[in-house]
Amino acid sequence: MDLKSLQVFLSVCSNLSFTQTAAEQHQSVSAVSRTILRLEEALGERLFDRDRRGMTATPAARRLQIVAERMLSDWRSLQQSLGDDGSLQGELRIFCSVTATHRLLSPLLAAYREAYPRVQILLQTGDQADGMERVRRGNSDVAVIARPEGLNESFAFSPLASTPLCLCMPLVDCALRDALAGVSGSALWEALEDAPWVLPERGVSKDLIDRWLGERFARQPAIYARVAGHEAIVAMVSLGLGVAVLPRLVVDASGLQSSLRVMTLEEDLPAFEIGLCTRQPRLADPVVRGLWQVAHEL
């Protein structure tokens, strides 16, 4: 069981595709298949199940994934300790939303680069709701996410910031603005029950906001759309397409504050805790552990 085979195996765990792994590892598909077959023969267990819908990792593969990550991390640690100048080097893949990249990650990465200039940082951007799954599957080493309720103990989380959730309504000239204009208190909530809502389609915010809507209103408000990414939601509200609940951090970073009527909801909804997330075994990697240490020192 050589290190290259483990790298191929981890790539298959991440991609659940021999074809994509072959492209990443600069090998043929048949070579990737042979590597996985050799590992299965050595372990006496099937690692991946395949059917017409695709490929899934077996429980044996998930256990081997933990071992493989630890072995590769230990190998990098050994290389580091035997290096000529002892400086940390390697590659760090970080997944983050565009908003969090500008507001939270920029100062952290500046400090990290100063501390570890030889580490190559690969920044991957997208909807923060995808961050947990990307880390779990190994597509990213670290993700910047909102802390999930009941975070599994197999994940490590390091907080970076806390941001309240707020109710956003349009100020652009539209029928929805007119319906909500000059309305406050209980009358506002009655009007909001009849308003169209733009809601997140997945992630921590979806579960939290859906539960809050069910508790706040006697009946389910009309849903105009479910959208991936808070940045897209704030843009849709600014265009008068609906109302939404959004993290204040996103609203402040959007540049659309003048197009929005904003109400904080601190009494109704808990603040979002945003931070770094990785799988616990990845903290054994000096490159990842170094990011944790820098974050704690900021």
pTM: 0.72
Which tens digits make up the pLDDT trace of 17-57? 888 888 877 789 999 999 999 999 999 999 999 887 888 99
User: What single DSSP character describes residue 88?
Assistant: -
Q: With beta carbons less than 8 A apart as the criterion, state whether 184 and 252 touch.
A: no
The alpha helices in the chain, defined as continuous H runs, are 3-15, 18-25, 29-43, 59-81, 98-100, 106-115, 131-137, 175-180, 185-193, 204-216, 230-238, 248-254, 286-297
pLDDT cut 90: percent of the chain above it: 44
Q: Looking at residues 73-100, what average pLDDT do you find?
A: 75
The backbone torsions φ and ψ at residue 277, rounded to the nearest 5 degrees and listed phi first, read -135, 135
Superfamily of domain 87-159+273-298 in CATH is Periplasmic binding protein-like II (3.40.190.10)
Instruction: Give the pLDDT score at 14.
Output: 81
Tell me the β-bridge partners of 263: 167
The single-letter code of the amino acid at 105 is L
Q: With beta carbons less than 8 A apart as the criterion, state whether 256 and 235 touch.
A: yes
Q: Looking at residues 220-230, what average pLDDT do you find?
A: 91
pLDDT at 77 over 60: yes
Which tens digits make up the pLDDT trace of 163-177? 999 999 999 999 999
pLDDT at 84 over 70: no
Q: With beta carbons less than 8 A apart as the criterion, state whether 262 and 168 touch.
A: yes
Q: Looking at residues 105-127, what average pLDDT do you find?
A: 89
pLDDT at 87 over 80: no
Q: What are the domain boundaries of the chain?
A: 1-84, 87-159+273-298, 165-270
Q: Looking at residues 112-133, what average pLDDT do you find?
A: 88
The CB density around residue 246, as the number of other CB atoms within 10 Å, is 26
Question: 165-270: same fold as 87-159+273-298?
Answer: yes
Cα angle 213, 216, 221 (rounded to 5 degrees) comes to: 50
Domain 165-270 has CATH 3.40.190.10: yes
Cα angle 217, 223, 227 (rounded to 5 degrees) comes to: 125
Distance CA 94, CA 75 (A): 21
Please report, for residues 90, 164, 201, the alpha-carbon distance to residue 80 in angstroms, rounded to integers and kept in the order given: 9, 41, 43
The arrangement of secondary structure in 1-84, i.e. its CATH architecture, is: Orthogonal Bundle (1.10)
pLDDT at 178 over 70: yes
Q: Looking at residues 276-286, what average pLDDT do you find?
A: 89
Instruction: Give the pLDDT score at 270.
Output: 85
Q: Looking at residues 208-221, what average pLDDT do you find?
A: 89
Q: Looking at residues 118-129, what average pLDDT do you find?
A: 86
Instruction: Give the pLDDT score at 79.
Output: 64
Cα angle 235, 248, 288 (rounded to 5 degrees) comes to: 100
